[in-house]
Amino acid sequence: MTTLVIAEHNSKKLSPSTFSTLMAAQAIGSDIHMLVAGKNIAAVAEAAAHLSGITKVLCADADVYEYALAEPMGDLLVHLSTAYSHIVAPSNSESKDYMPRVAALLDVGQVSDVCAVLSADQFKRPIYAGNAIATVTVLDEKKVMTVRASSFDKSTQQNDQACAVEMVDFIAQNAVSSWQSDDITESARPDLASASRIVSGGRGVGSGENFALVEALADKIGAAVGASRAAVDAGFVSNDLQVGQTGKIVAPDLYMAFGISGAIQHLAGMKDSKVIVAVNKDEDAPIFQVADYGLVGDLFDVLPEMTDKV
């Protein structure tokens, strides 16, 4: 029994979600190999080889894997699958794409967003936007699963001695899909998915210009900026800042919500945060039911004052 963990990276370094996924894989209890796929990723593979708990790194370095398109990634994983009992990826926009393809091509089911590993074949996962937690037993011999990174510890030990890095010579063919363009929001702030502090704004912030108030506090305390779906839908900020069931799932040490009412879909994305602060004019806002510290007040008064005093 060997588990294959798929590394998440940005071609330069491993993402913290990779470490969380490695923790989940260790709970499965078998030998672990890690796959690093992409283009010009030798440095990432080298870093992976130093992670404690891994006995081999597979490096698939080719043009066709550069944008992690579903079709070639699916074929690559199916090609590698024969040697593995578990194929595990952190749940992200790329793995959500290719993992179900891998499962279907192998004629097995997939367990999405695993939040606890009970044994090698029994897992917990959230359903109904996190309003219920299901315990499931996988009946297939090969387990294909994605892991909710925020549910697992991110700390991983490093070894001085690197394990072997093996180059994968399989190059998938892809004539059906192609990358056209990326529109990436440049930001000097920490990445939302892995930030230890997040300052979020909701519909109550009122406009895109007013989001500068949220950003000012975030910058003062070194936090990432987040938003509720309402704020994103209203066009205040870009889509990739959305925290919630259909946005990013986060679990920082500190989550501060300004002008966010606390719809179930938003709570699903942030309720595992260690400390939650809510500031809202409406004292009956549902967000106060999950907040460790609530302050009933106008965010236009509170935000500048906090930024000033913190």
Partner 1 sequence: MKILVGVKRVIDYNVKVRVKADQSNVDLTNVKMAMNPFCEIAVEEAVRLKEAGVASEVVVMSVGATQSQEQLRNAMALGADRAILVEAEGEIEPLNVAKAFAAVVEKEQPGLVILGKQSIDSDNNQMGQMLAALTKRPQGTFASKLVIEDDKALVTREIDGGLRTIALSLPAIVTTDLRLNEPRYAKLPDIMKAKRKPLETLSLADLGVTLKSHCRLDKVESPATRSAGIKVSSVDELISKLKDEAKVI
Site for partner 1 in 61-80 (CB under 8 A): 67, 69-71, 74
Residues 6+ apart with CB under 8 A from 208: 235, 236, 237
Q: How far is the CB of 165 from partner 1 (least distance, A)?
A: 25
Q: How far is the CB of 34 from partner 1 (least distance, A)?
A: 20
Sign of CA dihedral 69, 70, 73, 79: negative
- Per the rule left: phi > 0, alpha: psi between -120 and 50, beta: everything else, 5 is beta
Q: How far is the CB of 220 from partner 1 (least distance, A)?
A: 9
Q: Which of 36, 45, 49, 103 binds partner 1 (CB under 8 A)?
A: 103
- Binders in 7-26 for partner 1, by CB under 8 A: none
215 counts as binding partner 1 under rule CB under 8 A: no
- DSSP secondary structure code for residue 185 in this structure: P
Contact 125, 112 (CB under 8 A): yes
Give Cα separations from 51 to 8, 78, 154, 162 (angstroms).
Answer: 14, 25, 12, 8
Q: Which of 27, 116, 129, 216 binds partner 1 (CB under 8 A)?
A: 129
- Binders in 233-292 for partner 1, by CB under 8 A: 233, 238-240, 245-246, 253-254, 264, 271, 274-277, 288-292
End-to-end Cα distance, the chain: 51
Q: How far is the CB of 168 from partner 1 (least distance, A)?
A: 20
Nearer to partner 1, 163 or 291 (CB): 291
Q: Which of 33, 101, 154, 266 binds partner 1 (CB under 8 A)?
A: 101
Which one, of 141, 112, 143, 108, lies nearest residue 127 by Cα?
Answer: 112
Q: Which of 16, 126, 204, 262 binds partner 1 (CB under 8 A)?
A: 126
Q: In what order do the strands lie in the sheet with 2-6?
A: 110-114, 143-147, 86-90, 2-6, 31-38, 56-61, 164-167
Count CB-CB contacts under 10 A for residue 61: 18
302 counts as binding partner 1 under rule CB under 8 A: yes
- Binders in 154-173 for partner 1, by CB under 8 A: none
Q: Which of 42, 43, 134, 212 binds partner 1 (CB under 8 A)?
A: 134
